[in-house]
């Protein structure tokens, strides 16, 4: 979703159901959020974040100014006013900001800003001691969310604290009670590169360039556990990945998709991950090769671990998946070929010429009739169009045509860490949070 489209959809959500759009509780949809409870939850969330920062020694030393990125209706901005001298909320939805200003209990301390461009040029460098964002970046395409992460680090003062949340990958697994997440210590032993892979499908038919999601299950057949998290520098993480091969097994595209495991995989245990792959741009028959990789070390398949190959038919346009062409029946033999004697007799007696004269006259009559019908329809086009108007209105009513839409995106954890580091920040902690369908990360960042 492009930035202008994102802005338009969140404007619609802000006009229809602003509180539910911020906190999507199924029981609160349709304006059923209690305003007092809505803002009370925001206060509890901010209090918990700052209390944890105080316990871990990462709290900002000075509490002058705070930023609520993606403030929506001002739920967290109002809560920050109890801890900071000045609080700024920024959002791309003007209807959301209108609601936030209506419920602003601290007009002298809380200010709301409309952001119309995909950056934070509204604010100068090193403007905020504390920056917080949750349930915001996940609704932006990665080309925007990654840029905003850089901007959030830019506006943070040296020694300040940035906390933001962003899903790292899709996940259908429910964490077991004994699940744990530990960072990897470095290169795996050689005999740890042993895995058995299975997929939720046995073959695929897709359009050229289409993105598809595949559930991949890996069994650890080694005697060493596979840690789920990278090391302190964001390296050496174990991921599910893929290559594209042609039908003869030659590499067409190396290293396409990436997805990590939600928790550690012990010897003999299994774990699933949702891998997003992109089909080749040219139609044809391909092999999708699934494999595991330890980043900055090597591929499991290159160390004698079996990979998994799935046949994929790639087609173009709306015709994909391709089907064999239908069998066209042969034309039957003509009357002349089937009955040559009768045909010669009709030609000699003149019956044949009389018949074709009759047929040509009949064709002229039919052509004149069709032209008259078309002329009448063109003359009375508007009344004929009105016959379809009720049907069109019913279709629009069923579609809920003007409703806003939310989309969910993921950015791999290692990529987020590298973006923060390149922007001059330092990830001091990452808290993994499982939500239905997604593995989310809450990043705690200090600026160098």
User: In this predicted model, what pLDDT tens digit does every residue of 254-313 receive, in sequence order?
Assistant: 888 888 887 889 999 988 888 889 899 888 899 999 999 999 899 999 998 999 999 999
Q: Residue 258: CB partners within 8 Å, gap ≥ 6?
A: 239, 240, 241, 275, 412
186 and 164 share a domain? no
Closest CA to 403 of 24, 72, 8, 3: 8
Boundaries of domain holding 110: 3-170+409-447
42 and 141 share a domain? yes
Q: Which of 293, 319, 345 marks a domain boundary?
A: 319
Give CA–CA dist 63/423, Å, rounded: 23
Can you give the pLDDT at residue 90?
98
Alpha carbons within 13 angstroms on the beta-carbon side of residue 155 total 24
Mean pLDDT of all residues in the chain? 87
With respect to residue 150, please indicate whether it lies within any of the assigned structural domains: yes
**69 compared with 230, residue with greater pLDDT:** 69
Looking at residues 350-367, what average pLDDT do you find?
A: 86
Provide the domain count of the chain. Answer: 3
Q: Residue 332: CB partners within 8 Å, gap ≥ 6?
A: none
162 and 15 share a domain? yes
| CATH number, residue 225 | 2.60.40.10
Residues 268, 300: contact at Cβ < 8 Å?
no
Give CA–CA dist 203/287, Å, rounded: 9
With respect to residue 194, please indicate whether it lies within any of the assigned structural domains: yes
Residues 110, 104: contact at Cβ < 8 Å?
yes
175 and 83 share a domain? no
292 and 145 share a domain? no
* pLDDT tens per residue across span 389-436: 777 777 766 555 566 778 888 888 878 988 999 999 999 998 888 776
| CATH number, residue 90 | 3.40.50.150
Share of the chain above pLDDT 70, in %: 89
Give CA–CA dist 287/313, Å, rounded: 9
* pLDDT tens per residue across span 110-159: 999 999 999 999 999 999 999 999 999 999 989 999 999 999 999 999 99
Using CA atoms, how far residue 134 sits from 23, 46, 76, 138, 203, in Å, is: 11, 11, 10, 9, 38
With respect to residue 327, please indicate whether it lies within any of the assigned structural domains: no
164 and 211 share a domain? no
Using CA atoms, how far residue 415 sits from 113, 167, 184, 256, in Å, is: 29, 12, 17, 15
With respect to residue 328, please indicate whether it lies within any of the assigned structural domains: no
With respect to residue 202, please indicate whether it lies within any of the assigned structural domains: yes
Using CA atoms, how far residue 323 sits from 282, 317, 318, in Å, is: 17, 13, 12
97 and 186 share a domain? no
372 and 392 share a domain? yes
47 and 84 share a domain? yes
Closest CA to 260 of 223, 304, 227: 227
Which letter, b or e, does each residue of 366-395 get, where b requires 16 or more Cβ atoms within 10 Å of its Cβ? eeeeeeeeeeeeeeeeeeeeeeeeeeeeee
CA Rg value for the chain: 32
176 and 234 share a domain? yes
With respect to residue 329, please indicate whether it lies within any of the assigned structural domains: no
With respect to residue 49, please indicate whether it lies within any of the assigned structural domains: yes
Give CA–CA dist 153/298, Å, rounded: 32
DSSP reduced 3-state for 66:
strand
* pLDDT tens per residue across span 232-251: 777 889 999 999 999 888 99
With respect to residue 325, please indicate whether it lies within any of the assigned structural domains: no
149 and 74 share a domain? yes
153 and 177 share a domain? no
């Amino acid at each position: 979703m492009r930035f202008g489209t994102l802005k338009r959809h969140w404007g619609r959500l802000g006009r229809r159901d602003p509180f539910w759009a911020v906190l999507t509780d199924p029981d609160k949809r349709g304006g059923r959020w209690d305003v007092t409870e809505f803002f009370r939850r925001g206060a509890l969330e901010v209090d918990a974040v700052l209390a944890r920062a105080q316990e871990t020694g990462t709290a900002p030393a000075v509490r002058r100014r705070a930023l609520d990125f993606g403030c929506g209706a001002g739920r967290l901005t109002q809560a920050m006013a109890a801890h900071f001298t000045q609080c700024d909320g920024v959002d791309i939805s003007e209807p959301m900001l209108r609601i936030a200003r209506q419920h602003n209990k601290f007009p002298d301390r809380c200010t709301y800003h409309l952001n119309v461009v995909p950056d934070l040029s509204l604010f100068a460098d090193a403007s905020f001691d504390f920056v917080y964002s949750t349930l915001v970046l996940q609704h932006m395409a990665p080309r925007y969310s990654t840029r905003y992460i850089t901007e959030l680090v830019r506006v943070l003062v040296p020694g300040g604290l940035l906390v933001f949340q962003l899903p790292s990958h899709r996940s259908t697994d429910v964490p077991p009670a004994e699940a744990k997440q530990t960072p990897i210590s470095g290169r795996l032993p050689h005999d740890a590169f042993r895995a058995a892979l299975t997929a939720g499908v046995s073959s695929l038919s897709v359009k050229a360039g289409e993105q598809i999601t595949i559930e991949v299950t890996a069994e650890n057949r080694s005697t060493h556990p596979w840690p789920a998290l990278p090391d302190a520098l964001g390296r050496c993480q174990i991921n599910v990945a893929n290559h594209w091969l042609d039908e003869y097994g030659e590499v067409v595209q190396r290293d396409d998709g990436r997805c990590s495991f939600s928790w550690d995989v012990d010897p003999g245990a299994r774990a699933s991950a949702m891998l997003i792959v992109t089909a080749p741009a040219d139609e044809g028959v391909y092999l999708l090769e699934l494999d595991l990789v330890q980043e900055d070390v090597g591929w499991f398949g290159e160390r004698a671990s079996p990979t998994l190959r799935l046949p994929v038919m790639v087609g173009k346009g709306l015709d994909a998946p391709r089907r064999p062409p239908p069998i066209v029946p042969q034309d039957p033999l003509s009357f002349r070929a089937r009955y040559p004697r009768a045909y010669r007799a009709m030609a000699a007696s003149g019956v044949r010429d009389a018949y074709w004269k009759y047929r040509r006259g009949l064709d002229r009559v039919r052509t004149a009739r069709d032209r008259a019908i078309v002329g009448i329809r063109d003359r009375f086009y508007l009344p004929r169009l009105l016959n379809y108007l009720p049907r069109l209105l019913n279709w629009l009513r069923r579609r809920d045509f003007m409703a806003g839409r939310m989309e969910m995106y993921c950015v791999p954890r290692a990529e987020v860490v590298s973006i923060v580091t390149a922007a001059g920040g330092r990830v001091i902690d990452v808290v993994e949070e499982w939500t239905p369908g997604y593995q989310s990360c809450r990043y705690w960042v200090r600026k160098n």
